[in-house]
Amino acid sequence: MGKRIPLPEEPIAGIDDVVQYDRDAKHYIFPEYKYFVRKVLRKGIKGGRVLDLGTGPGLLAIELAKARGCHFDITAVDISENMVRMAVKNARQAGVEDKIKFLVATAAALPFPDNSFDLVMSYASLHHWFEPVTAFNEVERVAKDTGKVIIRDNKRMYQNPFYKSIIWIISQFTSRRHRQNWSKAISASYTIPEAKEIVKKSHLRECRVNSDFVFVIDLCIESQ
């Protein structure tokens, strides 16, 4: 099995990288934000306090804030100040700045009391976290007893030639920069057994770990 290649350091913190990521995410990642929001709504979650971890330019949080007939009070955090600035700008442009609070914080030490959130969600950030077990413990701590957790990310599946060709084909329709970042992100991501092992070591309880997006190229950790 191909070994995981962790990201050397936070690679999307410089302003040029943030601008580029924001542009690429608006072009290429949008179907996944929509899918994520549909998943939340299908669970019957239509309101309450939501935490988005590793929000980046805030596009998932914004998509959730725009969901019709819903009333979410969203807090979104990212370790990168430049990402948070971009997220604030995007929320203002989308007209949802009053529905989302953006903060600079790390998933490994969340500045919130225990039992604060009805939903803790995250997209494409887990593979960056240097201390995933600590971060999962924080997720468990800040989620209410009745709260839900949905953490989605890439899945490391380059060891499988079939998946490798699918990613290669899809990535031909994206920019060179996005292609390179995606490839590094996949190599830094976890396999399903590895993610299950991290969950097991953490305080997160009763979570299912599987793949359910198109071509099952994703990893989803989801409370029952």
Ligand X SMILES: C[S@@+](CC[C@H](N)C(=O)[O-])C[C@H]1O[C@@H](n2cnc3c(N)ncnc32)[C@H](O)[C@@H]1O
Binding site for ligand X (CB under 6 A): 10, 12, 25, 29, 53-56, 59-60, 77-80, 83, 106-108, 123-125, 128-129
Closest distance between ligand X and the C-beta of residue 75, in Å?
12
1 vs 19, beta carbon nearer ligand X: 19
Closest distance between ligand X and the C-beta of residue 49, in Å?
18
Q: Which backbone phi and psi does 185 adopt, to 5 degrees? A: -65, -40
14 vs 165, beta carbon nearer ligand X: 14
34 vs 165, beta carbon nearer ligand X: 34
153 vs 209, beta carbon nearer ligand X: 153
Closest distance between ligand X and the C-beta of residue 185, in Å?
6
Q: Which residue is nearest to ligand X (CB)?
A: 56
Closest distance between ligand X and the C-beta of residue 170, in Å?
17
Q: Return all residues near 105 (Cβ < 8 A) that are at least 6 apart.
A: 77, 78, 79, 111
